[in-house]
Copies of this chain bind each other. A is one copy, B any other.
Amino acid sequence: MAVEFVANDRSYGVPERPVLAVCADGWDPGYVDDALERGLMPRLAETLSSGGSGGSGGGSGGGTYVIGRAQVPTFTNPNNAAIVTGVSAARNGIAGNHYRDQAGHEVQVTDPSFLRAHTIHAAAHAAGVPALCVTAKDKLRRLLADGGVPSFSAECAHEQSLPDGTPLVDVLGAPNPGIYDWQLSPFTIDLALAVAQRLGSLLVYASLTDFVQHSAAPGDPLSDAFYAAVDAALGRALDAGFVVGLAADHGMHAKTAADGTPNVRFLDDALTAGGVTGAHTLCPITDPYVVHHAALGSLAWVHLDDLDDLDRARGVLASLPGVEGVLDRFAAADSFELPADRIGDLVVLADERTVLGKSRAAHDLSALNGGLRSHGGLHERDVPIIVCQPLKPGAVAGRELHNRDLHDLLLNHVA
């Protein structure tokens, strides 16, 4: 086996101990800080030097918890892609869960062919390092199955088998929870550990789901149960000898008006009222599972049939309350390291309390049961990055860490 391999110009060391990197979907720092403070995550706490986000090595556990930066838009696919490739969306090509192709069709970004950079796992696999990806949702598994890396999803565990034919559900001996069951995420970690043991995987990626975070604030009973269960699963990984790290893909905020109802700006409706026809808003949060967010996030692309409407459209969108910025395609690509051909002619940013939709008719708000918690904009960009084992001196100090640096920390900087 190689001692190191290269993925997208970065060198990664082949670990001596198995490594588990977790994409902690929707783990706003508020959840982690709250769970640590109230003692809901004892296994994680004991690996860290202090309970808060200021802790960084040096304590009895010697682990590290810092706040890093997520890829904008702060949605799931762009950030999973950033974490597994180690590079920005400008290089890996994944700017949303969804995009509008040249022909004007909205396309789900679920196929590895959309990736413009190979994954770290594909590079490891090619170098003979046993790698494994396990996701909560199957749509993400497909994207991460780049380069023939063994990949499974908790969602479809009842339909998948190991290479030796063992049904995946038999590996854990428990049926997989449903996609809107809060236990799907801890199940995903346990499934990853069990499959890794069967396959002898050295580099394991487990990507969770943020259904809980969309539904419950820090301190809610559902959140408490969730973080305690994930902590127990992480403890099982530590007990099994794994080097364990986590990075969130994005934060999460309530996106509600003073009366508790969803605080939405419908951009196609606003543009029509402002005299702009031929505008097409695309919500890059869109995915097949919309019960928890109704495809409403805090960043949207707007495509125009006629670029002569650009100035007027920019003005209409920028005047909306709750919109905190509008950028042209180039400006957005440059500001946020995005692939210019996979975003809108305009990129609209909403503030911490506001989400953006296409039109009132296009979103089913009834499924939300009143409230709405979501993400996608700049206010969900600060994310926890956690490594449970001690890091070498200088691994973190002075660095501006992104969640895409998680594998660099785990493979190059663990002491």
Contacts and interface: CB of A to CB of B under 8 A. Distances in A.
Interface in A106-162: none
Interface stretch (A169-177, A179-187, A318-326): A318-326
A349 interface: yes
B9 A398 contact: yes
A328 interface: yes
Interface string A311-336: 11011111111011111101110111
Interface string A382-406: 0000000000001001101000000
Nearest to A335: B335
Interface string A284-319: 000000000000000000000000000110111111
A317 B349 CA distance: 16
Contact of A318 (B314, B334, B336): B314
Contact of A335 (B88, B315, B318, B378): B378
Contacts of A398: 8-11, 86
A326 B328 contact: no
Contacts of A331: 324-325, 349, 378
Contacts of A326: 314, 318, 325-326
Nearest to A349: B331
Contacts of A34: none
Range, interface on chain A: 35 or more
A411 to B, nearest CB: 13
A351 B324 contact: no
A334 B381 contact: yes
The majority secondary structure among interface residues of chain A is mixed
A273 to B, nearest CB: 13
Nearest to A396: B9
Nearest to A377: B331
A314 to B, nearest CB: 4
B351 A328 contact: yes
Interface string A4-21: 000011110000000000
Given A311-B323, A324-B330, 20 more contacts: A10-B397, A11-B397, A11-B398, A86-B398, A311-B320, A314-B318, A314-B323, A315-B316, A317-B318, A318-B318, A318-B326, A324-B331, A325-B325, A325-B331, A325-B332, A326-B326, A327-B327, A334-B378, A334-B381, A335-B336
